[in-house]
């Protein structure tokens, strides 16, 4: 029997919507089979292994000055994860929601550029099979909802900008030759929250990503 892993290994690199933050809660987390990576893994079956690497508040390439005690910069974390979890067949990146915070003052293309920088890190790595880079799936997060957001007005200006993200992400993904999916086509952020998808959204998104992954691997 071969000592090497014959399963396809998928890294899910994201923020609280990959971590499974329950909308409107005080930091409660959905169970593994409810979160979209778990849904995706269950749909894909035993031929795939799913690694969840998610952090509440994670940004793409910036630190959040309002959270000085813990690094929220995805660019700091991603290279370490790629090295520690290699070999990876696919890296799924879904970030950008926290980059929408008012005090960060980013437009849609600045955020898309930030996420694309993470894509570039993956494509320049040796974290895939035989020291090649893994495949990449770039996911645009679901748009921020317009109702009152419970997070201390941090996302007051976010809804309009978030609705411009899919076009920017799609353009950047095409430029890098990686696959793209818009989470907003399958999930939304319900009241009383404005940035977190609910269990139905996780289920729908997980199935959609599983279908995309199957397409990518033929």
Q: How much is the pLDDT for 180?
A: 98
In the prediction, which pLDDT does 4 show?
63
| H or E, element range at 13 | strand 8-14
Q: What is the pLDDT of residues 176-218, one digit of tens each?
A: 999 999 999 999 998 878 999 999 999 999 999 999 999 999 8
Q: Which two tokens stand for residue 137?
A: 């799936």
211, containing H or E segment: helix 199-216
What is the CA 156 to chain-centroid distance, rounded?
22
Residue whose C-alpha is closest to residue 121's, from 98, 142, 104, 138: 138
Full-model pTM? 0.96
**Sheet of 48-54, strand order:** 48-54, 8-14, 90-94, 135-140, 179-182
pLDDT > 90 fraction of the chain, expressed in percent and rounded: 91
1 — pLDDT class (breaks 50, 70, 90): very low
User: Which of the four pLDDT bands, split at 50, 70 and 90, describes residue 2?
Assistant: very low
Our CA angle for 94, 117, 81, nearest 5°, is: 65
What share of the chain in percent tops pLDDT 70?
98
CA distance 132 to 93: 18
| Contact indicator for 115, 35 with CB cutoff of 8 Å | no
All structural domains of the chain? 8-216 (3.40.50.1110)
Greater confidence, 4 or 136? 136
Is 158 within 8 Å of 101 (Cβ atoms)? yes
pLDDT 10s digits, 79-133? 999 999 999 999 999 999 999 999 999 999 999 999 999 999 999 999 999 999 9
Q: What is the pLDDT of residues 12-21, one digit of tens each?
A: 999 999 999 9
Kindly report the average pLDDT of the chain as a whole number.
95
| Residue 33 in this model has a pLDDT that exceeds 90 | yes
Residue 3 is predicted with a pLDDT of 57
**Residue 27: pLDDT above 70?**
yes
- Per-residue pLDDT at 154: 93
């Amino acid at each position: 029997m071969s000592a090497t892993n014959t399963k396809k290994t998928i890294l899910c690199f994201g923020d609280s919507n990959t971590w499974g933050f329950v909308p409107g809660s005080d930091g409660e987390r959905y169970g593994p089979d409810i979160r979209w990576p778990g849904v995706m893994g269950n749909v894909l079956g035993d031929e795939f292994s799913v690694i969840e690497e998610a952090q509440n508040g994670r940004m793409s390439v910036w630190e959040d000055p309002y959270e000085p005690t813990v690094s929220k910069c995805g660019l700091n974390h991603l290279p370490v994860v790629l090295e520690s979890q290699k070999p990876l067949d696919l890296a799924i990146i879904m970030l950008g929601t926290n980059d929408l915070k008012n005090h960060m003052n980013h437009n849609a293309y600045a955020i898309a550029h930030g996420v694309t920088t993470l894509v570039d890190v993956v494509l320049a790595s040796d974290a895939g099979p035989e020291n090649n880079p893994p495949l990449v799936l770039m996911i645009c997060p679901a748009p921020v909802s317009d109702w009152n957001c419970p997070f201390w007005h941090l996302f007051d200006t976010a809804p309009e900008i978030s609705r411009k993200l899919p076009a920017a992400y799609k353009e950047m993904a095409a430029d890098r030759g990686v696959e793209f999916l818009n989470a907003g086509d399958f999930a939304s952020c319900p009241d009383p929250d404005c940035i977190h998808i609910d269990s139905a959204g996780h289920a729908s998104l997980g199935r959609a990503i599983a279908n995309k992954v199957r397409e990518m691997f033929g």
